[in-house]
Amino acid sequence: MHSSSEVLAPGKRGSWLNLYKTEILAGLTVALALVPEAVAFAFVAQVHPLVGLYAAFIVGIITAVFGGRPGMISGATGALAVVMVSLVTQHGVEYLFATVVLMGILQIIFGLLRWGKFMRMVPHPVMLGFVNGLAIVIFLAQFEQFQVEAPGGNMVWMEGMQLYLMLGLIALTMFVIWVTPKVTSAIPAPLAGIVVVSVLVIGLGLDVRAVGDMASIAGGLPQFHIPMVPLDLETLQIIFPYALILAAIGLIESLLTLNLVAEMTNTKGGASKECVAQGAANVVTGFFGGMGGCAMIGQSMINVKSGARTRIAGITAALFLLVFILFASPLIEQIPMAALVGVMFMVVVGTFAWNTFKIMTKIPRTDAIVIAMVTGVTVLEDLAVAVVVGVIISALAYAWNASKRINARTSINEDGQKVYVLEGPLFFGSATGFQEIFSPETDPDDVIVDFINSRVVDHSGLQAIDNMASRYIQQGKTLHLRHLSPDCKKLLKKAGNMVEISVLEDPKYGIAVDYDHTFDGEPVEPEPQKA
């Protein structure tokens, strides 16, 4: 992959004309793929198709201009739609618009607080599970296109010649996408697949389902509209839980997609910027009759694999979408759904991490479980739950492994003192093992515990030191604690006076507790340090 700086250097990747052509064609391809998804997700949320299309346009163009990662595509997504549906059915679409505005405000706050940096806490197995789970979700979502309305109004599966024709057109689309890069790089492969199959279907007059069969996409410019809801505490109580859930799901999906695109394009950074851009886009969307949105992994993959590396493609995709709504709806509505399903199937093939099957038996068992669980929960529940589950399991596995690394080297120095040199982190998971290291009953009268190769991580670690000190005090023995930070000394209730601080040697680090209080909650005045 090439970095964005390489893309912008005409001498390395051709002329500026070729760059713009690649970006614009990629944007057109993405716009064509956005239409059926925006309409489908609007149906899922039980709102008018234009509500989904307006969201795709507004969220798409604002994040393309101000987002943290050139190449990412944002719009109305299924992950958000499934949460919105209960709100719409219970309270109506106006409450949805108000919720989207509040969702955007929360995302802006998260971005300004720079909480996007916590995505670095997501381990690689969780990322693999996320990618595989999303690929499966995208794959399963396409099966809706294999259903048609029966005379009684029920949806039934295609069969006979209708099914064979659908499968044949999908296969043709996938073949064109596969072979196009081997023939020419002048046109994005997905766009070639859509054009070839559309021309074939229209030219031969084949009776297949088209975009227009889902709903009309014709409309005007989005109009400014203040959500018609009471501005009171009761309304806030209704919309806030939905807004918080939508903000969390939107940011998690966006930031994971950002990491994936960054890895593919060899770029980095922009998490907090993306949070703010997503939030601003959703605030605007809520005031213009849109259902809100976030990053779309499928369309982002189409964009990146079509050669797009700058903001031009995302802006172009949003503008093309608006043109479709305003002027080109009759033409776009003739595109066969089989062509778009074929494009999405190729996205699935390119998105799924197929090497997962090879590495599952070679990586630690815990990582393999995390990959499988995140994949399964993403498919069965939703992305936010899957990521939280994966991070918790990974954190517990790390804590368990780290808890077994606490140990000590012991020796007797020339003064007859027993010296314990600790190795490994001291935290809630290793506190029990820490206590088992010491033998106050059999140790000499003078004992030194050296933390030079250890680190006190949390409140539990401090409590473990105090408990260890109490055991030596009960035996009437002298204890020296060396290489503990001044913060630790201040927070230790029983062992604080045993800490020997050397400002030349001792580490300076803090732990995640309130420095102004001891364990029993009594205020402690900072003690002067001594050399």
Mean pLDDT on 3-13: 45
Indicate yes or no: pTM above 0.85.
no
Is CATH 3.30.750.24 correct for 405-491?
A: yes
HEC per residue, 433-502 = HHHHHCCCCCCCCEEEEEEEEEEECCHHHHHHHHHHHHHHHHCCCEEEEECCCHHHHHHCCCCHHHEECC
Instruction: Report the percent of the chain where pLDDT is more than 90.
Output: 41
User: How is residue 68 annotated by DSSP?
Assistant: S
pLDDT of residue 14: 52
Residue whose token pair is 């909650």: 521
Contact 472, 447 (CB under 8 A): yes
| Helix 271-287 vs helix 93-112: crossing angle, to nearest 10 | 160
| Residue keyed to tokens 């987002």 | 67
Identify the pLDDT of residue 320.
Answer: 95
Most confident of 38-42, 128-132, 277-281: 277-281
Domain boundaries, the chain: 18-352, 405-491
Give the span between the Cα atoms of 206 and 338, in whole angstroms. Answer: 12
Q: What's the CA gap between 44 and 170, in Å, rounded?
A: 24
Least confident span in 9-13, 112-116, 351-355, 517-521: 517-521
Residues 271, 278: Cα–Cα separation, whole Å: 11
Phi then psi for 517, rounded to 5 degrees? -140, 145
* CA atoms of 290 and 325, how far apart (whole Å): 14
pLDDT tens-digit profile of 260-296? 888 888 877 688 899 999 999 999 999 999 999 999 8
Neighbour count for residue 293 (Cβ, 10 Å): 32
Rounded to whole angstroms, the Cα distance separating 246 from 239 reads 10
d(CA 172, CA 362): 37
Taking the C-alpha atoms of residue 452 and residue 441, their distance in angstroms, rounded to an integer, is 25
Task: List % helix, strand, coil for the chain (3-state, nearest 5).
Answer: 65, 10, 30
Half-sphere exposure for 437 (CA within 13 Å, toward CB):
28
The pLDDT, as a whole number, for residue 522 is: 42
Compute the distance between CA of residue 486 and CA of residue 17 in angstroms, rounded to an integer: 62
Tens-digit pLDDT profile for residues 381-426: 776 678 788 888 888 888 888 778 899 999 999 989 999 999 999 9
Phi-psi region of 526 (alpha: psi -120 to 50; beta: other; left: phi over 0): beta
pLDDT, residue 508, reads 52
Q: For position 188, what pLDDT does the model report? A: 77
CB 290 within 8 A of CB 222: yes
pLDDT single digits (tens) 482-512: 988 777 878 788 777 888 754 434 455 444 4
Q: Are 34 and 26 in contact (CB under 8 A)?
A: no
> What does the pLDDT read at residue 1?
40
- Per residue in 309-341, pLDDT (tens digit) is 899 999 999 999 999 999 988 888 898 989 888
- CA distance linking residue 265 with residue 33, whole number of Å: 21
* Contact yes or no for 340/98 (Cβ under 8 A): no
